[in-house]
A and B are shown apart, each in its own frame.
Chain A
């Protein structure tokens, strides 16, 4: 993961896929995921409330599908 002024760029060396974190909030969520028991707690801690969480949950799901985000225990 490489930070950029708008958010961050993600590159997967295995799949050669490039992804973009398009704002700082999603970046903060992803960086803090490991410190929370679940994604929703990380979202709340980053200031994303229930009404606004849908696009963030979607983004996380996309990253999981593309193997960009993997479970801590499977590392």
Chain B
């Protein structure tokens, strides 16, 4: 006879954390040719401590050992790193799949041909408006034309299934059908994700995030037409708007449990939307009280261990939708100054509005690589090492 112990739901397994991330985001550089107003990583200038080619390769070696299936490479604009293609090739040769996000600046016809020849690299072109007017208001003058040129080059080179990656805002939510048509025209797949108040996004979130009516509109669009649209499972805060399971994907926060972020200097954060000291798990290069290397940070950092413990529903405990939305996005709450054990600022039950109306302290950014703004040099992002860790003797 079969004696199979009952298995907890997969989502519960995931909430306890995996032995290694399924995938992770790796921002290779803070350098960027653009200065998007909502940049999650406040990118612009290269950080002088940026990981070297050799350091990046040794991280890839470790990801291969841990069987991390793929990395989402971003930045900044990752393709401006002179060793970018070398690192992409190194990763795919070492069984770490690569998906990279770009504004298209380096996707020339030659690069497009090269990409078309590889089976293991996915390309995401960022676009935040289906028209130049809407896009360029957020991403900067000329950025729409640049993205279109990249898509043209990819299509002409025979690169199949590029992704068009859209952050849904108040100004482009009405263009979802247009984005879909644009994707179809280039043989591409549409990917839409949630606007987070992270990085420079904190400064523009109030004006750019979709209104409550638009959230419903977005949800309905996803349920009706979202079958071939990727979302990075980022709209789980909307899951309560309909029947459980109506929204495709894994509707949970994967921060520190199934995903994380590596930044250009090797700092590991809980998720791509949480570049702040509060969510800093450790640094890959520096020896800490729980050891060195990515594997150690992933398995042993106190922050990640805490995230894998059962989380308190707090003020949301009595809400009938808690099972669907699980309290929403941790980063969205943190950067809008809301308590982590309360409603998401875009809570579908409307509890976010009153919470946002209360007196709240928005956290100051821990780091800013924007061009043309002063950089706070006094804020250290690294915990001070113990004297006994400084010297091996």
Contacts of B20 on A, CB cut-off 8 Å? 2
Q: How large is the interface on B (under 10, 10 to 19, 20 to 34, 35 or more residues)?
A: 20 to 34
**B3: Cβ under 8 A from any A Cβ:** yes
Contact partner of B69 among A18, A22, A25, CB < 8 A? A18
**A5: Cβ under 8 A from any B Cβ:** yes
Q: Are B19 and A4 in contact (CB under 8 A)?
A: yes
Contacts of A2 on B, CB cut-off 8 Å? 19-20, 67, 69
Say how far A20's CB is from chain B's closest CB, in angstroms: 6
> In the bound complex, how far is the Cα of B384 from the Cα of A61, in angstroms?
54
Cβ-closest chain A residue relative to B5: A23
Contacts of A16 on B, CB cut-off 8 Å? 70, 97, 122
**A30: Cβ under 8 A from any B Cβ:** no
Cβ-closest chain A residue relative to B12: A6
Q: Are A23 and B4 in contact (CB under 8 A)?
A: yes
Contact partner of A11 among B1, B8, B69, CB < 8 A? B69
Per-residue CB proximity of A52-68 to B under 8 Å, as 1/0?
10000000000000000
Say how far A62's CB is from chain B's closest CB, in angstroms: 15
Q: Are B3 and A4 in contact (CB under 8 A)?
A: no
Q: Are B120 and A13 in contact (CB under 8 A)?
A: yes
Contacts of A7 on B, CB cut-off 8 Å? 7
Q: Are A5 and B19 in contact (CB under 8 A)?
A: yes
Q: Are B1 and A14 in contact (CB under 8 A)?
A: no
Cβ-closest chain A residue relative to B66: A2
Q: Are A6 and B7 in contact (CB under 8 A)?
A: yes
**B10: Cβ under 8 A from any A Cβ:** yes
Per-residue CB proximity of B95-121 to A under 8 Å, as 1/0?
101000000000000000000000110
Once A2-B20, A13-B120, A14-B119 are accepted as A-B contacts, the answer to whether A25 and B10 lie under 8 Å apart by CB is no
Once A2-B67, A22-B10 are accepted as A-B contacts, the answer to whether A9 and B95 lie under 8 Å apart by CB is no
Q: Are A13 and B7 in contact (CB under 8 A)?
A: no
> In the bound complex, how far is the Cα of B21 from the Cα of A9, in angstroms?
11
Contact partner of B22 among A9, A13, A14, A52, CB < 8 A? A9
Q: Are B2 and A49 in contact (CB under 8 A)?
A: yes
Say how far A22's CB is from chain B's closest CB, in angstroms: 5
**B18: Cβ under 8 A from any A Cβ:** yes
Cβ-closest chain A residue relative to B68: A2
Please list the residues of chain A having a beta carbon within 8 angstroms of any beta carbon in chain B: 2-7, 9, 11, 13-14, 16, 18, 20, 22-23, 25, 47-49, 52
15 sample A-B contacts, Cβ–Cβ < 8 Å, listed by A number = A2-B19, A3-B19, A5-B13, A6-B13, A11-B22, A11-B70, A11-B97, A13-B69, A13-B120, A18-B22, A20-B10, A23-B4, A23-B7, A52-B1, A52-B4
Please list the residues of chain B having a beta carbon within 8 angstroms of any beta carbon in chain A: 1-5, 7-8, 10, 13, 18-20, 22, 67, 69-70, 95, 97, 119-120, 122
